[in-house]
């Protein structure tokens, strides 16, 4: 059974840094993208950053310029370097593996999140 395990969360002061890791227990076939989401108390889960197989990255406006997503395919590990942390970055952070739908070989199927980690808490205080 595939597992995604996040680590690296913790409690820091505003302005400090953290680096999150997401280790995949095994290679996941048809993985088209990896992403980091976060969920603040009382709010929904939102996409923070993603990285495609070709290395294309995306960032939400709230973290652009402060967070960097990367991955080490040899180690099956996804990272999120978070710098200049703000109190509003406080949330549970989840990694997700997106899987390409290959049921219809005539088309390029959807790339959707299919595997999730259990989350790691990040708390930023002023």
Q: How many helices (H) and strands (E) does the chain have?
A: 0, 11
pLDDT digits 0-9 by tens, 79-108: 999 999 999 999 999 999 999 988 888 888
- Of 66, 37, 40, 62, give the one whose Cα is nearest residue 49: 37
pLDDT digits 0-9 by tens, 11-28: 999 999 999 999 999 888
């Amino acid at each position: 059974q595939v597992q995604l395990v996040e680590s690296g969360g913790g409690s820091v002061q505003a302005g400090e840094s953290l680096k999150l890791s997401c280790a995949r227990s095994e290679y996941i076939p048809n993985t088209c993208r990896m992403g980091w989401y976060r969920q603040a108390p009382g709010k929904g889960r939102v996409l923070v950053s993603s990285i495609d197989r070709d290395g294309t990255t995306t960032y939400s406006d709230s973290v652009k310029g402060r967070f960097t997503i990367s991955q080490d395919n040899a180690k099956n590990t996804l990272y999120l370097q978070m710098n200049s942390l703000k109190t509003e970055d406080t949330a549970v952070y989840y990694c997700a593996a997106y899987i390409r739908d290959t049921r219809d070989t005539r088309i390029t199927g959807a790339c959707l999140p299919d595997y999730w980690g259990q989350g790691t808490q990040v708390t930023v205080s002023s």
